[in-house]
């Protein structure tokens, strides 16, 4: 699961505005406009997060302090669509371009939203808020826009794969933790050492670059398998 915070900021609302999503200090992105609203910032932060992770199969947990955004995306949107993107009173849905882009971005994804109270010391929410506000301030003062590193190889999760040893191998009661193999720790040996597999399953941890992970996901989807199933078959 990927856990990320998304937030927006507008000075004056409307006014100089920013958005940001945040996973950790090496994995975040931000942007904004000379003039925008807080809701536009909040919606754009979520949209940019889903677009940045579109190549991944991981479930996405989005921490958000905007009940408007959460309700719009999880409760109201189906009714809006049935009514031709109009609200219950017949008026047009606000921020329609963003809502329709989000409707497309969320399709087929595994995700959950978690409401968190804003400006209450929640570490990830505070980090996203600080970055969104920094963009708004930069637009206000004519400074360089702090856009962040975006989704890079440093953001990609390691792929943990369970591999069955060859038939006939003996099994004992040793813990899986004791038999975990890390590819980065066997530089002068074979990639994996199966000299003494001691259970029905061994855990192998692989670190993939963003490009390698993307290729793995694409090939797995083409084969109708999960990335783990496809990689297990290759091994």
Active centre residues (catalytic): 7-8, 42, 65, 119, 129
Strand, coil or helix: 218: helix
Q: How far apart are CA 210 and CA 56, in angstroms?
A: 10
Q: How far apart are CA 52 and CA 29, in angstroms?
A: 9
Q: How far apart are CA 234 and CA 228, in angstroms?
A: 10
193-232: b (≥16 Cβ within 10 Å) or e: eeeebbbeebebebebeeeebeebbeebeeeeeebeebbe
Measuring CA to CA, how many Å separate 41 from each of 17, 61, 134, 135? Answer: 7, 19, 13, 11
């Amino acid at each position: 699961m990927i856990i990320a915070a998304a937030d927006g900021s507008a000075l004056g609302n409307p006014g100089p505005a920013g958005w940001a999503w945040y996973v950790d200090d090496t994995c975040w992105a931000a942007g904004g406009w000379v003039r925008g609203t807080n809701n536009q910032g909040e919606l754009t932060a979520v949209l940019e997060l889903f677009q940045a992770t579109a190549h991944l199969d991981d479930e996405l947990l989005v921490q958000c302090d905007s009940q408007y955004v959460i309700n719009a995306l999880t409760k109201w949107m189906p009714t809006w669509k049935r009514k031709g993107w109009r609200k219950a009173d017949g008026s047009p849905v606000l921020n329609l371009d963003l809502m329709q882009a989000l409707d497309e971005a969320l399709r087929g994804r595994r995700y959950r939203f978690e409401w968190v109270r804003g400006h209450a010391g929640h570490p990830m929410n505070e980090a996203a808020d600080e970055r969104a506000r920094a963009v708004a301030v930069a637009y206000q003062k004519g400074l360089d826009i702090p856009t962040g590193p975006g989704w890079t190889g440093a953001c990609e999760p390691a792929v943990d794969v369970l591999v069955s040893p060859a038939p006939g191998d003996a099994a004992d009661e040793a813990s899986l933790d004791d038999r975990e193999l890390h590819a980065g720790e066997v530089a002068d040996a074979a990639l994996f050492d199966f000299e003494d597999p001691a259970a029905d399953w061994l855990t192998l941890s692989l670190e993939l670059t963003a490009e390698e992970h993307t290729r793995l996901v694409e090939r797995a989807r083409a084969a109708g398998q999960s990335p783990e199933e496809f990689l297990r078959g290759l091994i």
